[in-house]
Amino acid sequence: MIDSHAHIYSDDYAEDRSAMLDRAWNAGIEQIWMPNCDHETIDGMLELAEKYPGKCLPMIGLHPTYVKEDFEKELQVMEDWLGKYEFIAVGEIGMDLFWDVTFKEQQEKAFLYQCGLARRHNLWIDIHSRNAFWETVKLIEDFADPALTGIFHCFTGTLEEAHKAIELGFKLGVGGVATFKNGGLDKVIPYVGLEHIVLETDAPYLAPVPYRGKRNEVAYIDLVAQRVADLKEMAKADVIAATTANAKSMLNKVSK
């Protein structure tokens, strides 16, 4: 399995990071993709990338909830790193209008700028979109580059929104919310082709049932795979094989 989105550099794992990762490897995790937040998370993320080469793969980007007055300075840091280190994607980037709309305009500018960085470096984007799906879609359409692709991380939208994301050339990152009783994905996953889905945990956040409300970890992705299998009425092994192949295709797919 590939966990396509996990913050394993988080301080939540300060006491047992190695043990948590051992549980992940023992659960059959092949790779963990690490999204960045801002300049402060880069060092810890890259330390893990160096310690686990080929297994912990880093992205670079400015998370929308970290977009403040100094966002242009943060973007320069991201751009500088893109020139000197090999990343798999630009992320996580996007729009978050759930917590605060104070910097909505700055979030839009940061997102579009980072879409440009992704295209210049032939990378895909990892999208964080909370209470902002259609706003994010409009930005992608305004960017108007059909080669721009990526993942809508932590997808929790409607079937209409799922179809729109797929139409734009993006995959859906499915995580612990799929296991929630009122998560809503039971109305989406059965009607979306498995070729459009990748698995994720978003660890340490959004732990799946029966760990909901507790610290999430990468090994729990097996519970997400089982939930997708149940919703699609197919074998978990087939879900794992397909979603892993989907994730691997992202690493080779970006147009020059």
Residues 19-54 pLDDT 10s: 999 999 999 999 999 999 999 999 999 999 999 999
For residue 202, say whether it is annotated as part of any ligand binding site: yes
For residue 7, say whether it is annotated as part of any ligand binding site: yes
Edge-to-edge strands, sheet with 170-174:
89-96, 124-130, 150-152, 170-174, 197-199
**CATH 3.20.20.140 describes domain 2-250:** yes
Predicted model pTM: 0.96
For residue 63, say whether it is annotated as part of any ligand binding site: no
Which residues of the chain fall short of a pLDDT of 50?
Answer: 255-256
pLDDT value at residue 99: 84
Distances (CA, A) of 27 to 30, 41, 58, 115, 234: 9, 26, 21, 34, 20
What digits encode the pLDDT tens for the residues 129-156?
999 999 999 999 999 999 999 999 999 9
For residue 128, say whether it is annotated as part of any ligand binding site: yes
For residue 39, say whether it is annotated as part of any ligand binding site: no
For residue 121, say whether it is annotated as part of any ligand binding site: no
pLDDT value at residue 254: 55
Residue 87 near residue 58 (C-beta atoms within 8 A): yes
| Segments making up each domain of the chain, as ranges | 2-250
